[in-house]
Amino acid sequence: MFDLRVSVVRFLIFFFQSVFHQISRKICGPPKRREDDARGKVVVVTGANAGLGKCVAMEMAKRGAVVIMTCRDVNKGIQAQNEIQSSTGSDKITLVELNLADISSVKRCANQISSRHSKVDILINNAGIALNSPSTQLTKEGNELHFATNHLGHFLLTKLLLDRIKNSEAGRIVNVSSSGFIMANFSIKDLRMSKLGLGLGTFAPYCNSKLANVLFTKELSKRLADTRVKTFSVCPGLVNTNLANGYYANENLQHYLIKGSLGCIGLSGEDGADGILHCALAKGIEDTSGEMYRFGRLMNFDQELTSVCGMPTDSVAEKLWQKSEKLLDLKQLH
């Protein structure tokens, strides 16, 4: 059963506002911004072999950054790396294997990056999955697969690279989320979703993981308040990539709704990536660390977050942090 945590009226307002902003972005383009010089910056992009991650890696390479592409499928990663090198002429692009659902893979990836680089200037936690499954999918550790891949894997990677990010003069961590968090069916007590419903169109597991991205960003910002590192979550909008393929694989009403929406108002990968680049490079946004952006603009989702979480956002963000550490058997991050 679909458990909508916000009122139907609030959900409809939120939905139509999101559609309006999506159409406005598609017609008017992004707001103007001033960017930090990316030349020589060490930038890690997860899920860089396709979709938004590939577009971000391409743009960072064009700007002269040292780009570290991480991906699960090495063969696809090599193909994307060669394409980016050919397009940009950059010789500062490396590839590291990363399966975010596998804790040992995350550790190996972080070790390889740390052994090669004394600092990381920008970490873009972009990779993610969106599966249309009639039942809950679990990892070998017993964690719900979306939560493990989209949140826990990035949580661990961030922890393992944090010392390198702190070595940067102005480190940034960007967590790619989604305003779809409003459809989450979320409970700290049941992160494996053994008792919770999968939601409308089985979207809840994905939406839960995107809510976790937002909460992680907020709590991370608090814990890094006395450092030079800033962190942001970003909703890239409805983007026409392969991420949503599973949700319209079968020709039913959901198929036509999603595919039709992508065709009518979906952004290109390049346009979707621009919002991520804003959080990674824009000047003058440092004071908004911990907040969420969409289309280069600061979004105030506090009311929706509180409704979905069922308690004050700061409280549930701290609880999620503690639970994530417990699931990964980590000592507390400092």
- Catalytic residue IDs: 206
Please, are residues 132 and 138 in contact by the beta-carbon 8 Å criterion? Answer: no
- The C-alpha angle with vertex 173 and arms to 50 and 102, in degrees rounded to 5, equals 55
By C-alpha distance, which of 312, 285, 149, 276 is closest to 221? Answer: 285
Distance of alpha carbon 276 from alpha carbon 294, whole angstroms:
9
Which one, of 134, 170, 186, 126, lies nearest residue 36 by Cα?
170
Cα radius of gyration (the chain) = 19
Token pair recorded at residue 294: 């969409």
Q: How far is CA 220 from CA 7, 39, 317, in A?
A: 29, 26, 9
Contacts of 85 (CB under 8 A, 6+ apart): 61, 91, 93
Q: Which runs of consecutive H residues, i.e. helices, occur in 51-137? A: 51-62, 74-88, 103-116
Among 218, 18, 252, smallest CA distance to 134 is for 252
Question: What single-letter DSSP state applies at residue 333?
Answer: P
The strands making up 93-97's β-sheet, listed across from edge to edge, are 93-97, 66-71, 42-46, 122-125, 172-176, 230-235, 292-294, 297-299
Using CA atoms, how far apart are residues 5 and 201, in angstroms rounded to an integer? 16
